[in-house]
Structure 1
Amino acid sequence: MKRLILSMAVLALAAAACKKNGAEKGFDPRSTFAGPYADTITLPLTITTDTELDPSILWVLDGKTYVTNGATLIVPEGTRVEAKKKSTNDSASALIITRGSQLFAVGNAQNPVVFTSHEANPASGDWGGIVLLGNAPLNRADATIEGINLPSVPAGVDINYGGGAAGQGDVNHKAGELQFVRIEYAGAAIATDNELNGLTCGGVGAGTVLDHIEVAYGNDDAFEFFGGTVNAKYLFALAPDDDAFDFDFGYRGHIQYAVSVLDPNETYSANPNGIESDNNGTGAADQPYTNPYISNMTVIGWSNAISGTLSAAHFRRHSLYDVRNSVFIGFPRGIRLESTPTINHASHFSHNIVHAFNASQVLDPVTAPFGAGIFTSTASNSNADVVLNNPFNLSSPDFRIVAGSNAATLGTDFTGLDGYPGFFTATSYRGAFDVVAAGNTNNWLAGWAKYDY
């Protein structure tokens, strides 16, 4: 292994003009390097100047790499970054983009950017994933991102996030762009409720671009949003050990076209939910309230009743929500609401399909209005009322819906949905994927996503 030397030719520096987007900072897309890697280089513990990685090099994280000092890290299409497993979780390898810095990891359907384990036999939790930090508003004062052992942080590196006092900050903050990216075998816990995830966003703003991102076989949550206003489309959570999508500390972003699925061959130690949402960990009614705006999400548990999971979606501790046109199947509980009626009645849950294995917990409890939804309970065939084409074949799944099914025919509702028109695109179907049909090429996972690990 060689330690990265910033002046070496294989490390292309970004354009000197230091402007705030990838093209202006020297982003030059390239094809995946087809042959053997020209070299293997370990990334430094801090990156303080604009840096572009060469996709013909295998890049290695050996501990935590912090992008700081306003620097931008550019990871072109087809680049592979592998993280070493460390002896303890508090020293886990990870990539952390601090406030004021940016990450441009932009692949395409043919050449995604891959962040994965460096182990010969990779496993869930081998490393700590990607952390984006920003100064978008929280419902609390600035916080230190969890999952990082503070004494190990290099001198002068700031791992706080948020824009100052509660509600303050830049709603349009930009942490960069992640497109067509896979994050594999991440998640590292220092202690209970002090973990890194696949992709962790702390105070990240709406200027950030997140789309076509897969988090596979992580040891904690796939996607976690601590406050902020960042939006995302085309997210894929494959077999996270805990929650697929986790919201906290006043997150108020928009998410469309997202799918999660569990692997029945895995043991889930953390009793995962599809969605877990809190206003904060104490249940305080601090404002701005956590309020994710979600449309066209598909959350999949098991085909038949199996222990080891909790709820398809769990909104608790004063969390608000607006969930439309989505599908939740295969969990013991369907939608669990654990807050005050005043808070729940300010929320919206409409035109969804919800299944639960336990009939008394399809909605638990029913304390808010539900519009034009389907709520069912069966101990087997959780897919009976949707119907997804082939959701439980993890070697080659197809999450699209079957023509004539409830998800295809019963209509949708975007009226009054924050972010529509604008961020949200109106659809005629419920769930993250359109109907299977001749000539239909709308499987947005095709080419770049991976299933069979």
Structure 2
Amino acid sequence: MPTKSFAQFLLIGASCAVLAACSGSSVNSPGEENQVPPPPTGGGGGGGAQTLNLIPSAGCPSGTTSSTEAVSFSGGSADVTACRLTGNLTSDVTVPANATVFLSGAVFVGSDAGATGGNNGPTLTLEPGATVMGQSGGDYIVVPRGSSIDAQGTATNPVVMTSAQDIVEQRLGTPREFFSGVRGEWGGLVLNGRAPINACIDGTAAGGTADCQKSGEGSSGLFGGGDPADSSGTLSYVQVKYAGFRVNNTDELNGIAFQGTGSGTTAEFIQVHNNTDDGIEMFGGATNLRNVVLTGIGDDSLDYTDGWTGNVQFALVVHAPDDSDQGFEFDNNGDDNDALPRSNPTISNFTLIGQRASSASDAGMLLREGTAGTLANGIVVDFNETCLDIDQAATFDQAAAGNLSLQSTLFDCPTNFGDEAGDPAANTPSAFFAKDPNNVATTNTLADTYFPGPAELAVTPVDPTTLGSFFTAADYIGAFSPSESPSSSWAAGWTFGLFADPDCPTNTTATGELINGQEVCRLTGTLLDDTTLTGGFAYELVGAVFVGRDAGADPASPTANAREVNLTIEPGATLFGSSGGDYLVVTRGSSLNSNGTANRPVVMTSRADIEGTQPNPLTARGEWGGLVINGRAPINACIDGTATGGSVNCEKSGEGSSGLFGGATADDDSGSLSYTRVQYAGFRVNNTDELNGIAFQGVGSGTDVNFIQVHNNSDDGVEFFGGTVNAKHIVLTGNADDSMDYTDGWTGKVQYVIVQHAVDDADQAFEFDNNGDANDALPRSNPTISNFTLIGQRASSSSDYGMLLREGTAGRLMNGIVVDFNDACLDIDQSATFNQAAAGNLGLESTFFDCPTNFEDESGDPAATQPSALFAAGANNVTGTTSLEGFSFITDMSANNASGVVPAPAGPEAGVTAIDPSTVDAFFDSVTYIGAVENAADTWYQGWTLQQQ
């Protein structure tokens, strides 16, 4: 049976504005369920206050006392009885697993032991699932120097610090939506340490020494010292929600303030959500952060100042639509921009997501006040003001000196750079960005809101392990890897709100059906508005589903009834049809962006396949229709007999009643296909009209095609009907007719093609035509194809020709391997085709043949251009005995195969001299081998292709 890789969860943004709250959505991660307190005790009712008893069955832990407090919440009021933490803790206190306690005022874990004192203060321990709640901004936790906190949750049972209102609403009212707009219901968490800072209340002290100390925000006491390795404890799998308190205009409590904390402090798997002030602020020190989520923060999500020199790896920032400032706001010292020790952190693998349509979302990154630092492997998108701004001369000086850098980062904001008139020309934000060739400003393709798509994966990353010993290997940009999904990422399970119960996307219909745990969403008729199909659903095609209404052949003059629509299919999405009449058509002027990843391809298949009801998957075909893309590029087959081929008037009706295609726009753009599989499709409308796996009908060169597979199609796998579209990395397996076919004047380019015939049914691997009705019609089919491996079935009569060139085609075929086709490796038909060969317009070079009959030389063929002569005339063409005898893609080429067998040149194939196709056209990669695969290390076909074992 086919292996299937379906994501099990979906982000909330599918059916509402990106990450805006959706009415009725509910969260489902264990990290949220674990914070729901026990059932209430007592009555309530009659409109009076409800009661909620949160005292653990074992009673209040040592160091706490029982208390009952009135808590007002959105549903009324409640009398909450819970254990209470208050005042200065003079000895160790442990909040047991899953217990909930009140904070009463500012709770200090011991007293400040000074910049040079011991570490003998008490420890506040919060066991997995423990919840600490405050009722007002004056309720917060401070860990002074010499004391510590030990808050260690788990991936399924985090420690939670939140408001009493939140707890009561979870149990007695309506649980809050992700972006509820609620903030500042309690204070927050402050950790004070003895690590170096550069902002000293004693103006005579030297920065970074034990004498350089500073008063913390919210009357939290002194911090700073001379011990960079100082430890204030451990935070792991911790949520801090709805905190922040404005003491005055310059003094606000952050979600978590790391004030002079050292590298001995552990801070990982932390979420701060809906804080009034900054989410996390680093006030000097050397603490490192890993796996950080900052959502809905009212001010800056991650802020630092006062000489912080720590590291961060894997950080996600998501702005709310109602209130926010910067994603990153990075300073050295506001009073002395060149104060030492200078802020100089190293940050890798971050994803910052703003709110493009909201004026509340300011800069993605604001670098200022003399900071240095290294920022690498980032994604910054959708910030309303700018992706990057840089302020103050001291900051530009650090950039000029190479002490401040940005590497391997993708920007996509309405305005990417906050260039200002006074900025130094060599280090304006745009110039600073351009210093690294791997920084890219382009349209993002983030999938499921947070996960990398093709644009992100195309950015060359920095190896984080070269940035310091703190960092782990990550060969991608952004906070998440391409192999992660909403259900399998490092943020799954313990965070609040990121991954919520999904709804079928807009313009689809929920059916209530579940297949393999996935909800089925239905697509019917014509899509009249842009639509995004997110991963984790199964999308049912019912009938012929059209993307938009045909906009006509001329983009400058669309038809009166035109509707140009973009259909985006994100990684992990599955589309299926139940019969041959179910298929997808992209009309002229509209576009399809089906962009999977190597780990999460887009799959288009049949209901029988995903239900597992195929009688025999090895021979299953024609179980649904297929994919048709119509474009405006030139063709030579015109329904109007008076039209000139290649002109705007030359149009044709597509197969399967798929509408018109063709025009005069060679660079027409119908979208992109990457890491997309089409399987078990094909439908015979009549004896001359069949749906292919993918039909590219008049598709232009502006369309991107890379990494596609068509498997077990009833008709052709891929057919190009004219047009100019190019493609790389095509896998065609088990197709019953021709694996790759073209006609009607196609002039595109292709590199890397694998064809594997099935034993039960197949025709040609390549069937290449110009025009069956007018062999010399113009524009003539004239593609360039390099690096192909075509594997037939030697012992099966179903495997016909490796290559059939006919009906007047021209073209150049290079670096090929053609083996095991029962009829012949090469046949040529029609005098117009021989004429193209004689004129030097059709040729074959650097290709290896091994078929029972290599050449279908026929008595009527011109002697100088018959198949064997054409082959002999081409440079570096060789016949021999193949090393691929008996090879099967389906059983030998899966990602799980340990045999090491790949269809790479070996034995006699390896001795064929290749042509470097990059010298023919810049489209091609430079290669020194024939065939589609270089060697065992070349695994471009693995992982995303169908694995059937």
User: For 1:149-298, what aligned pairs fall within 5 Å after superposition?
Assistant: 159-163=221-225, 169-264=226-321, 267-268=322-323, 271-298=324-351
CA contact (8 A) 1:400 1:436 kept: no
**Is residue 422 of structure 2 the alignment partner of residue 371 of structure 1?**
no
2: distance between equivalents of 1:118 and 1:415? 41
Match of 2:216 in 1: 145
1:264-313 deviation line (CA, Å, top 9, x unaligned): 2xx21xx51000011112243111111121000111002x3331222100
Sort the Cα spacing of 1:53 and 1:314 in 2 relative to 1 into closer, same or farther, 3 A: same
Match of 2:135 in 1: 84
1: distance between equivalents of 2:101 and 2:465? 46
Alpha-carbon distance, 1:113 to partner: 0.5
Sort the Cα spacing of 1:436 and 1:130 in 2 relative to 1 into closer, same or farther, 3 A: same
Sort the Cα spacing of 1:364 and 1:220 in 2 relative to 1 into closer, same or farther, 3 A: farther
Match of 2:898 in 1: none
**Is residue 357 of structure 2 the alignment partner of residue 305 of structure 1?**
yes
Deviant stretches of 4+, over 6 Å: none
Match of 1:357 in 2: 414
1: distance between equivalents of 2:157 and 2:354? 29
The letter of the residue matching 1:127 is W
1: distance between equivalents of 2:231 and 2:131? 24
Sort the Cα spacing of 1:446 and 1:401 in 2 relative to 1 into closer, same or farther, 3 A: same
**Is residue 389 of structure 2 the alignment partner of residue 316 of structure 1?**
no
2: distance between equivalents of 1:245 and 1:135? 21
CA contact (8 A) 2:387 2:416 kept: no
Alpha-carbon distance, 1:143 to partner: 0.5
Match of 2:195 in 1: 136
Sort the Cα spacing of 1:39 and 1:373 in 2 relative to 1 into closer, same or farther, 3 A: same
CA contact (8 A) 2:388 2:416 kept: no
**Is residue 470 of structure 2 the alignment partner of residue 423 of structure 1?**
yes
349, 369, 390: which one aligns with 1:337: 390
CA contact (8 A) 2:140 2:187 kept: yes
2: distance between equivalents of 1:434 and 1:258? 12
1:137-184 deviation line (CA, Å, top 9, x unaligned): 001320010123xxxxxxxxx710000xxxxx1111111001111000
Choose 191-200 or 210-219, whichever is displaced more: 191-200
The letter of the residue matching 1:408 is L
Sort the Cα spacing of 1:273 and 1:359 in 2 relative to 1 into closer, same or farther, 3 A: closer
1:230-250 deviation line (CA, Å, top 9, x unaligned): 001010001100001001000
Match of 2:447 in 1: 389
Match of 1:93 in 2: 139
SS in 2 for 1:343: helix
1:431-450 deviation line (CA, Å, top 9, x unaligned): 00011469x96511111101
SS in 1 for 2:457: helix
Sort the Cα spacing of 1:414 and 1:65 in 2 relative to 1 into closer, same or farther, 3 A: same
1: distance between equivalents of 2:87 and 2:458? 53
The letter of the residue matching 1:274 is G
Choose 293-302 or 45-54, whichever is displaced more: 45-54
**Is residue 483 of structure 2 the alignment partner of residue 412 of structure 1?**
no
The letter of the residue matching 2:435 is F
RMSD: 2.5
| Alignment gaps of 5+ in structure 2 | 1-50, 52-57, 64-79, 112-120, 170-175, 177-181, 200-211, 420-426, 501-949
SS in 2 for 1:352: strand
Match of 1:400 in 2: 451
1: distance between equivalents of 2:318 and 2:376? 19
2: distance between equivalents of 1:415 and 1:73? 34
Sort the Cα spacing of 1:297 and 1:56 in 2 relative to 1 into closer, same or farther, 3 A: closer
Choose 41-50 or 223-232, whichever is displaced more: 41-50
Structure whose CA Rg is larger: 2
CA contact (8 A) 1:325 1:352 kept: yes
SS in 1 for 2:451: strand
2: distance between equivalents of 1:56 and 1:413? 41
Alpha-carbon distance, 1:401 to partner: 1.5
2: distance between equivalents of 1:133 and 1:413? 33
SS in 2 for 1:344: helix
| Alignment gaps of 5+ in structure 1 | 2-7, 14-37, 149-157, 164-168, 378-383, 392-398
1: distance between equivalents of 2:274 and 2:487? 27
The letter of the residue matching 1:246 is D
Q: TM-score, normalised by structure 2?
A: 0.38
Q: TM-score, normalised by structure 1?
A: 0.78
Alpha-carbon distance, 1:39 to partner: 6.3
Alpha-carbon distance, 1:347 to partner: 1.3
Match of 2:61 in 1: 11
Sort the Cα spacing of 1:367 and 1:434 in 2 relative to 1 into closer, same or farther, 3 A: same
2: distance between equivalents of 1:437 and 1:201? 30
2: distance between equivalents of 1:205 and 1:415? 22
1: distance between equivalents of 2:159 and 2:464? 36
1:180-204 deviation line (CA, Å, top 9, x unaligned): 1100000111122311010110000
Sort the Cα spacing of 1:359 and 1:429 in 2 relative to 1 into closer, same or farther, 3 A: closer
**Is residue 184 of structure 2 the alignment partner of residue 125 of structure 1?**
yes
CA contact (8 A) 1:133 1:202 kept: yes
The letter of the residue matching 2:218 is G
Match of 1:449 in 2: 495
CA contact (8 A) 2:98 2:127 kept: no
The letter of the residue matching 1:365 is P
Match of 1:326 in 2: 378
Match of 1:115 in 2: 161
Match of 1:63 in 2: 105
The letter of the residue matching 1:370 is K
Alpha-carbon distance, 1:409 to partner: 2.9
1: distance between equivalents of 2:417 and 2:285? 35
CA contact (8 A) 1:324 1:352 kept: yes
How many pairs are equivalent?
Answer: 380
CA contact (8 A) 1:46 1:68 kept: yes
CA contact (8 A) 2:267 2:290 kept: yes
Choose 114-123 or 222-231, whichever is displaced more: 114-123
Sort the Cα spacing of 1:357 and 1:73 in 2 relative to 1 into closer, same or farther, 3 A: same
Match of 2:659 in 1: none
**Is residue 481 of structure 2 the alignment partner of residue 434 of structure 1?**
yes
2: distance between equivalents of 1:234 and 1:240? 17
User: For 1:20-31, what aligned pairs fall within 5 Å after superposition?
Assistant: none
Sort the Cα spacing of 1:118 and 1:98 in 2 relative to 1 into closer, same or farther, 3 A: same
The letter of the residue matching 1:429 is Y
Percent identity between the aligned chains? 28
The letter of the residue matching 2:135 is K
CA contact (8 A) 2:465 2:473 kept: no
CA contact (8 A) 1:39 1:58 kept: no
1: distance between equivalents of 2:237 and 2:266? 11
1: distance between equivalents of 2:458 and 2:429? 28
Sort the Cα spacing of 1:437 and 1:358 in 2 relative to 1 into closer, same or farther, 3 A: closer
2: distance between equivalents of 1:128 and 1:182? 14
2: distance between equivalents of 1:417 and 1:189? 41
Sort the Cα spacing of 1:366 and 1:339 in 2 relative to 1 into closer, same or farther, 3 A: farther
